């Protein structure tokens, strides 16, 4: 099976999913608050485990309803205080919230409202962000921490509960509630709105668009297990929806947090709106992803590979932060269920073999045709930079003996690093190599041919035998390359610059 095989029907998804949302709106009547689980934009996890699902697939689907939709972005004030960062992009949640607003508006969506949840007056970061948002012309609603939420339904559904939250003034009947990350308070925001609508005599309801776990795939399907690996730090576990099984005698996959909160959600909706239209967490969902898988084996293999990637990610984070191996052990159990090991990732063994042979850091990349290209550490280049140049030469059909970068062009960069910028390592990183290659392309046909191949690296897999620095991580992320690393540092030191 080729690494870039397609297993998901993007166009079928756009059609079916928009139809399903429209059907739910008809069922609910009035205003529908649709909680969007996971990433609404840049859903990299979905694109990795469902090859063919593009990172913007959800937003492309919603564009079929663009004139009927209003988007509300929710940010947990405690995440601002903790300076939480979106790991896949490396930016703080407050910056990601603004980035999302820009993206949505560029695509024609109405976005005027930001909600700050779990807010208290002592949170200086939240106050500062609120002022910043208002200066930018956005409307900000403040939602308080509710004592006893969600178990104390009498307090929650009262003037001392949801009644303390500021009402979000929306103008359309389909309101998408999204956030930069998990634990934002999207559900509470939806329920708070329904409470305030009910107080105003407005009919409204709630539904959930949670991509994973996929309810109509087996619970032990690698795509569903990959979701468990991705949320191992949250203690999320996929399970058979007990309420759905009891109500309909049909097995459907849900996860522990939805199953735990559903009885209370049902009570809340009963008390807020006088009735709950759902018999199970599965009933709440509108997810049609499972019906758009075109090649199950491709998606199974993609799920297995994602679990291995998540395993390496956990190992590296535990090494960096000197943590106990809790997360990596949880993911290791999932690997055991599927009978896979780290060496089932095609780039791992070649990178380790080069490192063993050269007695230095090494890396390997798997190209779209399945070919493996390696890189070793040299006096001029780090292993990632060397591997990148080697891969571009292979893609451009350039002989391995050809030097894309002459040592004379590298020397001034090394001098700048070591004599003026305080670096002890003279080797070029990936960003420096790409800059040098770009400069060389003006006079070298080989460099020009190699540079033209960069776009073919998107979606490729890389493994390195040492933990990457932030610069190399960023370059690989920007190129769309999936990278894993052994949990080892090249140099043993106590202090490390992040």
Please report the pLDDT score of residue 99 as a whole number.
93
User: How confident is the prediction for the chain on average, in pLDDT?
Assistant: 91
Please report the pLDDT score of residue 412 as a whole number.
77
Please report the pLDDT score of residue 360 as a whole number.
95
Please report the pLDDT score of residue 149 as a whole number.
85
Per-residue exposure over 306-345, b if at least 16 CB sit within 10 Å of its own CB, e if not: bbbbbbbbbbbbbbeeeeeeebbebbbebbeebebebebb
Please report the pLDDT score of residue 491 as a whole number.
65
Q: What are the tokens at 92?
A: 């703080």
The helix/strand/coil state of 118 is: strand
Please report the pLDDT score of residue 141 as a whole number.
96
Cα–Cα distance, 341 to 122 (Å, whole number): 48
pLDDT at 445 over 60: yes
Specify the range with the lowest mean pLDDT, choosing from 48-52, 92-96, 270-274, 347-351: 270-274
Please report the pLDDT score of residue 224 as a whole number.
97
Please report the pLDDT score of residue 494 as a whole number.
43
Q: Band the pLDDT of 495: cuts 50, 70, 90.
A: very low
Q: pLDDT tens digit string along 362-383? A: 999 999 999 999 999 998 889 9
Q: pLDDT tens digit string along 406-433? A: 766 777 777 777 777 777 777 788 998 9
Q: Band the pLDDT of 40: cuts 50, 70, 90.
A: confident
Per-residue exposure over 357-387, b if at least 16 CB sit within 10 Å of its own CB, e if not: eeebbbbbbbbeeeebbbbbbeebbbbbbbb
Q: Band the pLDDT of 440: cuts 50, 70, 90.
A: confident
Out of 6-15, 55-64, 487-496, the most confident range is 6-15
154 burial class (0-12, 13-18, 19+ CB within 10 angstroms)?
exposed
Domains (ranges, CATH) in the chain?
10-223+239-296 (3.10.630.10), 346-498 (3.40.140.40)
pLDDT at 123 over 80: yes
Three-state DSSP string of 54-82:
CCCHHHHHHHHHHHHEEEEEEEEHHHHHC
Q: What is the mean pLDDT of residues 33-46?
A: 87
Percent of all residues in the chain with a pLDDT value above 90, rounded to a whole number = 69
Q: What is the mean pLDDT of residues 103-129?
A: 92
Cα–Cα distance, 270 to 219 (Å, whole number): 30
pLDDT at 117 over 60: yes
Q: pLDDT tens digit string along 147-188? A: 888 888 889 889 999 999 999 999 999 999 999 888 899 999
Task: List the one residue out of 138, 136, 199 whose CA is nearest residue 167.
Answer: 199
Contacts of 65 (CB under 8 A, 6+ apart): 18, 21, 22, 174
Specify the range with the lowest mean pLDDT, choosing from 3-12, 129-138, 231-240, 349-358: 231-240
Q: Rounded to 5 degrees, what are φ and ψ at 348?
A: -70, -55
Q: pLDDT tens digit string along 205-230? A: 999 998 999 999 999 999 999 999 99
Q: At what angle do helices 470-479 and 430-440 cross, to 10 degrees?
A: 60
Q: pLDDT tens digit string along 283-299? A: 999 999 999 999 999 99
Cα–Cα distance, 409 to 435 (Å, whole number): 11
Cα–Cα distance, 496 to 498 (Å, whole number): 6
């Amino acid at each position: 099976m080729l690494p870039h095989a397609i297993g998901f029907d993007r166009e079928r998804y756009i059609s079916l999913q928009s139809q399903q949302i429209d059907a739910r709106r008809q069922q609910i009547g009035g205003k529908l608050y649709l909680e969007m689980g996971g990433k609404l934009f840049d859903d990299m996890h979905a694109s990795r485990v469902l090859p063919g699902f593009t990172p913007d697939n959800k937003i492309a689907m919603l564009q079929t309803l663009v004139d009927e939709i209003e988007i509300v972005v929710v940010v947990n004030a405690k995440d601002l205080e903790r300076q939480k960062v979106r790991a896949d992009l490396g930016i703080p949640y407050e910056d990601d919230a603004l980035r999302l607003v820009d993206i949505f508006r560029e695509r024609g969506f109405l976005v005027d409202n930001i909600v700050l949840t779990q807010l208290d007056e002592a949170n200086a970061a939240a106050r500062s962000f609120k002022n910043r948002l208002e200066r930018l012309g956005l409307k900000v609603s403040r939602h308080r921490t509710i004592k006893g939420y969600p178990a104390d339904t009498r307090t929650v559904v009262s003037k001392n509960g949801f009644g303390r939250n500021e009402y979000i003034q929306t103008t359309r009947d389909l309101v998408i509630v999204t956030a930069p990350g998990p634990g934002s308070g999207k559900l509470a925001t939806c329920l708070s709105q329904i409470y305030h609508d009910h107080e105003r005599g407005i009919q409204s309801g709630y539904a959930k668009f949670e991509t994973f776990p996929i309810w109509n795939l087996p619970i032990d399907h690698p795509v569903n297990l990959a979701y468990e690996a991705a949320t191992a730090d949250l203690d999320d576990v996929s399970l058979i929806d007990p309420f759905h099984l009891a109500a309909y005698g049909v097995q459907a996959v849900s996860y522990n947090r939805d199953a735990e909160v559903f009885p209370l959600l049902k009570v809340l909706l009963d008390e807020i709106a006088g009735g709950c239209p759902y018999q199970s967490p599965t009933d709440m969902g509108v997810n049609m992803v499972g019906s758009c898988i075109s090649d199950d084996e491709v998606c199974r293999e993609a799920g297995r590979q994602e679990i291995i990637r998540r395993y390496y990610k956990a190992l590296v984070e535990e090494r960096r932060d000197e943590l106990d191996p809790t997360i990596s052990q949880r993911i290791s159990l999932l690997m055991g269920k599927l009978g896979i090991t780290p060496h089932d990732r095609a780039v791992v063994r070649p990178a380790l073999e080069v490192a063993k042979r050269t007695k230095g850091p090494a890396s390997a990349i798997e190209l779209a045709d399945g070919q493996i290209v390696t890189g070793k550490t040299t006096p001029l280049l780090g292993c990632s930079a060397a591997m990148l140049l080697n891969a571009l030469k292979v893609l451009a059909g350039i002989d391995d003996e050809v030097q894309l970068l002459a040592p004379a062009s590298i020397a001034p960069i090394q001098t700048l690093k070591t004599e003026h910028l305080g670096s002890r390592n003279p080797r070029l990183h990936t960003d420096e190599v790409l800059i040098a290659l770009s400069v060389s392309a003006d006079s070298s046909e080989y460099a020009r041919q190699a540079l033209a191949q960069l776009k073919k690296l998107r979606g490729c897999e890389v493994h390195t035998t040492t933990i990457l620095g932030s610069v190399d991580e960023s370059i690989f992320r920007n190129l769309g390359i999936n990278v894993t690393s052994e949990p080892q540092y090249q140099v043993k030191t106590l202090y490390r610059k992040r």
